[in-house]
Amino acid sequence: MAYLFTSESVSEGHPDKIADQISDALIDNFLAWDEDARVAIETLVTTGQVVLAGEVKSKVYLDVQKIARSVIERIGYTKSEYMFDANSCGILSAIHEQSADINQGVDRKTKQEQGAGDQGIMFGYANNETENYMPLALDLSHRLLYELAALRRENDQIKYLRPDSKAQVTLEYSDNHKPQRIDTIVISTQHDEFDTEAAMQAKIAEDIKNILIPRVKAQLKPELQALFTDDIKYYINPTGKFVIGGPHGDTGLTGRKIIVDTYGGKGAHGGGAFSGKDPSKVDRSAAYATRHIAKNLVAAGVADEILVQISYAIGVKDPMGIYVNTYGTSKVNFTDGEIAKKIGELFDMTPYGIETRLGLRKPIYSETAAYGHMGRTNRKVTKTFENSNGEIKTMEVELFTWEKLDYVDKIKEAFNIK
């Protein structure tokens, strides 16, 4: 029998995502000047206020207020009427030095012996529903909000948009787990004042259907475009007026959108957040590594859908175990347990091995903090950083290295795939 599955996303202007982006901007700035920095920073945003808290072990000093304000400005909170403005909001820093008890579990005589920064379980997932090997409902939710933000910045076809928004997509699947159609699209977007609520709802609904949806459809392959039928149920700003939003409407915290950040409820999640953590924290680095593994396995033809779990003990470099679930879609003559064993042979899953293989000690994290950490485009960009002494550093970095399909040939050889 056909069934429904739903995923959601939130925009860069959502309060929790503002917090994530500030935390990751601080990570990038520390790593730009000190590649060995140990950083764990949480951010809280509310009406007219930002609070930074956490632990840092670094040789560099940064103007954290300036960095936070630049993030808020880039997102688009630049008007006093939003009650959260980059130029006027208060910023309180309660960042202190990392605990020596934690640090001794991570640092060793050689970097190769580096222990995991925490205990825990991490999951990576991939399937073949999309070209980027991501679940389709989440991919569409991200695309809707990314394009909505682009329309806001263009300020041409749609002129009333404010930064905060959410999207949700419900797909109907067939008995053999293939997407058949889009059942429902939900979009709530913050907006300027309208003369009447009825006028607001009519205008926004018209623009979403006639401007946003065609832009998103145009990015997709024909078989995915066909999922957009006339039978889609739309719920656009279903509660009505949405003028009060952002941190004035709802307090935001780092790490509260971990399902949005990963697979939209598909696969599994170990519970650890990513943003604000340097790569010695395996909550982040091992989640990227398992995504890299799962994506390359699916791309190589091992299975149509794969979940990879890894677990660590704090201060111990080697993982406690690797688990694989192919959900009955395996195409090779190996059990899931045998696939897991092969993964251990193909990939160095020590914290140092992950950091070096994926180039994680670079300032590559700001771009991850909105629209998902997984399924993004691997690319090189040039970034410029300024320290508290006014020194400028420009560097080229490679983003989303865990999305590279650089192990496909090795995996095919290991699993005898022609």
Annotated binding site for Mg(2+): 16
Residue 134 buriedness (CB in 10 A; 0-12 / 13-18 / 19+): buried
Q: Which residues are annotated as a binding site for K(+)?
A: 42
Contact between residue 300 and residue 106 where contact means Cβ atoms under 8 Å apart: no
Cα separation, 305 vs 298, in Å, equals 7
Cα separation, 338 vs 326, in Å, equals 12
- What sections of 208-328 are H helices per DSSP? 213-217, 222-225, 246-249, 258-261, 282-300
- Nearest Cα neighbor of 288 from 343, 383, 346, 359 is 359
Contact between residue 60 and residue 42 where contact means Cβ atoms under 8 Å apart: no
Q: At what angle do helices 15-33 and 64-75 cross, to 10 degrees?
A: 130
Q: Which residues are annotated as a binding site?
A: 14, 16, 42, 55, 98, 164-166, 241-242, 250, 256-257, 273, 277, 281
The full DSSP string for 287-344 is HHHHHHHHHHHHHHTSBSEEEEEEEE-BT-SS-SEEEEE-TT-B-SSS-HHHHHHHHH
Q: Which helix (H) or strand (E) element contains residue 103?
A: helix 100-106
Residue with tokens 């899931």: 336
Structure tokens at 363: 């300032």
Q: Which residues are annotated as a binding site for ATP?
A: 14, 164-166, 241-242, 250, 256-257, 273, 277
Neighbours of 88 (CB within 10 A): 10
Q: Which amino acid is at 202?
A: A
Q: Which residues are annotated as a binding site for L-methionine?
A: 55, 98, 250, 281
Contact between residue 138 and residue 129 where contact means Cβ atoms under 8 Å apart: no
Structure tokens at 100: 């020596």
